[in-house]
A and B are shown apart, each in its own frame.
Chain A
Amino acid sequence: MADVFRTEHLTRRFSGFTAVNDVSLAIPEGGVRTIIGPNGAGKTTFFNLLSGALPPSEGKIFFRDHDVTALEPYRRARLGIARSFQITNIFGKLTVEENVRLGVQAVLDGTANFFFPLRDAATIRTTTDRILEDIGLGNVRRAQAENLSHGDQRRLEIGLVLASDPPVLLLDEPLAGMSPAETHATVELIKRISPGRTILLVEHDIDVIMQISTSITVFQTGTVLASGTPAEIRANETVQRAYLGELALP
């Protein structure tokens, strides 16, 4: 099976500083593919390049063997690549339900114009309801999104990503700032949705990473330091010295 993503010599520079440096990486289909690394290692920049938020300075990006290097973000989203953001990025003034519904209807018609919504209205409603239940926000559906607690906003962020039922999810620190209970619920959610999808995850919570990852890629100063299964990464001395050691891995 083709790789979900393949990058060739991918490089991104910001005025004199190289955030992602000549990364050639293949990310296979399926499973939870986690990217770890210290702050400033280029993880989020790598996500921004994959999702089209930033153009690369050099190199190419292939999605299932199609060159998507120059493709606009909305076109990548329509190919089935959905992403969440490290800093909560929702429609604050709209209700929770409207937020999710916008995600759902994006798949049905994101480019053409739909003035006659009735044909899909029932599908949109049932999908929206199912996702609200999935992320556990069914009881606050009429609330304005910006009035939710931080944890609920993070979950809505995931809901927006799930809404389009994408085969590929890019989750940028979905657990940031969550309480232990919220973290647990969100990890369960990620486990539940992962069959049949590829999930790219940037995360810092090492316990969670070891628990749910299929494979782990370690970034350091814009390059790939190591790649492998959780067990291999745990045993890798370079990684221990460069990164995991700081976190006092058991």
Chain B
Amino acid sequence: MSRLLLHPLVWTAIVFAVLPFVAGANPFTGTGGFVDIATTMLIFALFASGFNLLLGHVGELSFGHAMFFAIGAYVTALDVKGYSFDLFGHTWTHVADNNMLVALVLALVAVLVLSVLLGRLIIPRSSGVYYSMITLAFAQVVFFIAFTWSDLTGGEDGLQSIPRPVMPGFDPAFFHDALHFYTFTAVVVFIGLALVYWLTVSPFGSVLHAIRENKVRARFLGYDVNKFRVNAFVLSALFPAVAGWLWTYFQQAINPDASSVGYSGNIVMMSMLGGVQTFFGPILGSIVYWELQNNISQLTKYWEAWIGAVFVVFVLLSPRGIMGVIENVRTRGIGRTTR
């Protein structure tokens, strides 16, 4: 029983239940409990946890994961709003179709196809810094397509007035309530995180850890290392796609920023802030990031610089992030240094 209570997913559920009542809490103004901030935290927790399958478990830094988030978001927006554009002398039209499950499947298929192609192209040819740079380059391509192909993507302004999702059996107004939408998000994100957790403790996950620790040895044991790397890349792209799907419905708008270097970088920062080789790290990183964002941005427009400073402090003093600090406190008692 006590082992069950300590299970990471039980803790996740507890955090999800409490979050809408405390998110955005500000000790100076005494306000808090902003449900929309909690929703944002969860969507980015899923995004970061998927990304962290690579950084934390395979030990590879993709600097372009925002492209998968953005494609998930744009595909959802286009399916929901419909489109009509001219290409190759033909007018391509799609009538608006507000079925959230169809949008989810389309978003997943689009990201699946792209990530399989990119993974097979990039992974056998690169690792380390080159790998990070080439993923960044592809994300930039997606960004510029989103930015310039106005007929389809709405260009710089993006796509607006996207309706909230409609689920059979629910009142159409149901998802307009912030807490209802939060609950829906929490269920989806929880399922996603449970999958991430299961992947990392499965035999598949331990092969990823072996690759992270010692690629050469893994190869000589008989593992097709590149195949595992590609599969991990594809899996880690699918979670951001689901996050993008949620994001479109939540924001009811999407613009090219979603695929920008800034978004890719924020995800790296959240994961490292929380602690990359842990399950909770990216979740905690997202919560802390948005909490800081909310509170500091009320005080100064230079909030990003302050979050950057917090990040630098953690990288220098606790490379294993917040989870590293927590672990040190638990195993060595409060007050010892992180070394």
Check B203 for interface membership: any CB of A closer than 8 A: yes
Q: How far is the CB of A154 from chain B (nearest CB, A)?
A: 14
User: Which residues on B sit within 8 Å (CB–CB) of A73?
Assistant: 219-220
Is A102's CB under 8 angstroms from B210's CB? Answer: yes
In B149-202, the 8 Å CB interface with A consists of 199, 202
Check B57 for interface membership: any CB of A closer than 8 A: no
Q: How far is the CB of A19 from chain B (nearest CB, A)?
A: 19
One of B12-20, B89-97, B222-230 at the interface = B222-230
Is A89's CB under 8 angstroms from B213's CB? Answer: no
Which of A51, A72, A94, A109 touches B210 (beta carbons < 8 Å)? Answer: A94
In B202-238, the 8 Å CB interface with A consists of 202-204, 206-207, 209-210, 213-214, 216-225, 227-228, 231
Q: Mark A91-120, 1 if CB is under 8 A from B, else 0.
A: 111100010011101110111011101000
Is B222's CB under 8 angstroms from A106's CB? Answer: yes
Is A90's CB under 8 angstroms from B203's CB? Answer: no
Which of B199, B214, B222 touches A110 (beta carbons < 8 Å)? Answer: B222
- Taking A113-B231, A115-B204, A117-B202 as contacts, is the C-beta distance between A74 and B219 under 8 angstroms? yes
Q: How far is the CB of B16 from chain A (nearest CB, A)?
A: 25
Which of B206, B217, B225, B227 touches A101 (beta carbons < 8 Å)? Answer: B206
A115 to B208, CA, bound (A): 12
The residue on A at minimum CB distance from B221 is A106
The residue on A at minimum CB distance from B231 is A113
Is B203's CB under 8 angstroms from A103's CB? Answer: no
Which of A51, A91, A114 touches B203 (beta carbons < 8 Å)? Answer: A114
Which of B204, B213, B214, B218 touches A114 (beta carbons < 8 Å)? Answer: B204
Is A111's CB under 8 angstroms from B214's CB? Answer: no
Is A83's CB under 8 angstroms from B220's CB? Answer: yes
Q: How large is the interface on B (under 10, 10 to 19, 20 to 34, 35 or more residues)?
A: 20 to 34
A103 to B206, CA, bound (A): 11
- Taking A102-B207, A114-B203 as contacts, is the C-beta distance between A91 and B224 under 8 angstroms? no
In B21-53, the 8 Å CB interface with A consists of none
A124 to B206, CA, bound (A): 13
Which of B204, B218, B224 touches A111 (beta carbons < 8 Å)? Answer: B224
Interface size on A, residues (CB 8 A): 34
User: Which residues on B sit within 8 Å (CB–CB) of A201?
Assistant: none
A111 to B229, CA, bound (A): 11
Which of B206, B214, B219 touches A77 (beta carbons < 8 Å)? Answer: B219
- Taking A74-B219, A74-B222, A77-B219 as contacts, is the C-beta distance between A94 and B202 under 8 angstroms? no
- Taking A90-B214, A91-B214 as contacts, is the C-beta distance between A110 and B221 under 8 angstroms? yes
A163 to B223, CA, bound (A): 13
Which of A51, A105, A110, A163 touches B224 (beta carbons < 8 Å)? Answer: A110
User: Which residues on A sit within 8 Å (CB–CB) of B207?
Assistant: 102, 105
Check A164 for interface membership: any CB of B closer than 8 A: yes
Check A35 for interface membership: any CB of B closer than 8 A: no
- Taking A77-B222, A94-B209 as contacts, is the C-beta distance between A89 and B217 under 8 angstroms? yes
Q: How far is the CB of B209 from chain A (nearest CB, A)?
A: 6
A77 to B224, CA, bound (A): 10
**A residues adjacent to B (C-beta < 8 A):** 51, 53, 72-74, 77-78, 82-83, 85, 89-94, 98, 101-103, 105-107, 109-111, 113-115, 117, 124, 160, 163-164
**B residues adjacent to A (C-beta < 8 A):** 199, 202-204, 206-207, 209-210, 213-214, 216-225, 227-228, 231
Known contacts A89-B214, A106-B221, A113-B204; 14 further A-B pairs (Cβ under 8 A): A72-B219, A82-B220, A91-B214, A92-B214, A93-B209, A94-B210, A105-B203, A113-B231, A114-B203, A114-B204, A115-B199, A115-B204, A124-B203, A160-B221
Query: Would you list 22 pairs from A and B whose C-beta atoms are within 8 A, ordered by A residue?
Result: A53-B216, A74-B219, A74-B224, A77-B219, A77-B220, A82-B221, A89-B217, A90-B217, A91-B210, A91-B214, A94-B209, A105-B206, A107-B222, A110-B224, A111-B227, A113-B227, A114-B203, A115-B204, A117-B203, A117-B204, A124-B203, A160-B217
